[in-house]
Amino acid sequence: MRLLTWNINSVRLRLPLLQQIIRDVQPDVICLQETKCPDEVFPLMELHGLGYTYTHLWGQKSYNGQAILSKHPFTDPKTYARCGQEDCRHISVRFPAFELHNLYIPSGGSGGDLPDPETNPKFRHKLSFVEEMTAWFAQTYTPESPLIAVGDFNIAPYEHDVWSHKQLLKVISHTPDETTRLEAMRASLDWIDTRTHFIPATEKAYSWWSYRSADWKKNNRGRRLDHTWVTEPLRPALKSMEIQTKWRGADKPSDHVPVILDLSA
């Protein structure tokens, strides 16, 4: 099975690019974040025509939103109101061999916003979201549960997940407040972060480049915000993980690029 996760940053705006990626990559399952689209106007017909007849949507106008699109049947589609908010940030479905969770962790602010939970409610919400997910995974499952969690986690946890570890320690997405909490979430079920499974932690790995950069490729000031995690029972099935950097240079790109996870039967 080939699984693709992508913060698409508006599914209707980037539908042609999604169709191009599908033709190039041929994923079995697609997890999208930040679809920015109410369910009733999601472009389902175009995607059904490409073979994705099984769908689970949770969207809203202009903000957030998620989708799971599959060529294979699934059961038990769920949505979760994290931190008491119906803001379309966590959905799941069940396949015969595993349960799949699609996550869109809050950004916590951007630009000049301070990473201070006392003065920045967006940042406080982000920390609370990760804490809630950590407790929920530990209470709901065991490390022996076959699970996959993917999506835009909005946190670059490792030193080489950002272009400058020292310069970004006080910038939202790489602060110790965030990285320590994400590590606690990973440890909640002893998740395998497939980035470090396939790419040495000493190597740079990015999945996001700001629109503000005049030349994203030349400057290469990226961050790895997009994740693919699996629990231990799925370790033998891991074949490959690839961050598809080339799509950042496409026409009208998202600021994120797709991440592909390949699993054997």
Residue 170 tokens, joined: 């006080």
Question: What own/partner pairs with CB < 8 Å and gap ≥ 24 does 214-218 have?
Answer: 216/248, 216/249, 217/248, 217/249
Amino acid identity, position 8: I
Closest listed residue to residue 260, CA positions, set 71, 47, 6:
6
Q: Please spell the DSSP secondary structure of 2-32, one letter per residue.
A: EEEEEE-S-TTTTHHHHHHHHHHH--SEEEE
What lies within 8 Å, CB to CB, of 55 at 6+ separation is: 44, 47, 67, 68, 69, 70
Q: For 180-196, what is the mean pLDDT?
A: 98
Residue 153 tokens, joined: 């986690």
The model's pTM: 0.98
Q: Please spell the DSSP secondary structure of 170-205, one letter per residue.
A: TSTTSSHHHHHHHHHHHHHTT-EEHHHHHS-TTS--
CA separation, residue 213 to residues 92, 208, 210 (Å): 34, 11, 6
Is pLDDT at 20 greater than 90 in this prediction?
A: yes
Sign of the dihedral through C-alpha 57, 4, 80, 92 = positive
Is pLDDT at 78 greater than 90 in this prediction?
A: yes
Write out pLDDT tens, residues 134-177.
999 999 999 999 999 999 999 999 999 999 999 999 999 999 99
Sign of the dihedral through C-alpha 81, 83, 137, 139 = negative
Write out pLDDT tens, residues 202-254.
999 999 999 998 899 999 999 999 999 999 999 999 999 999 999 999 999 99
Domains and CATH numbers, the chain: 2-263 (3.60.10.10)
Closest listed residue to residue 148, CA positions, set 244, 238, 79, 35:
238
| H helix runs in 94-175, sequence order | 121-140, 165-168
Residue 194 tokens, joined: 């497939």
At residue 76's C-alpha, the angle toward residues 74 and 77, to 5°, is 85
Write out pLDDT tens, residues 98-141.
999 999 999 999 878 999 999 999 999 999 999 999 999 999 99
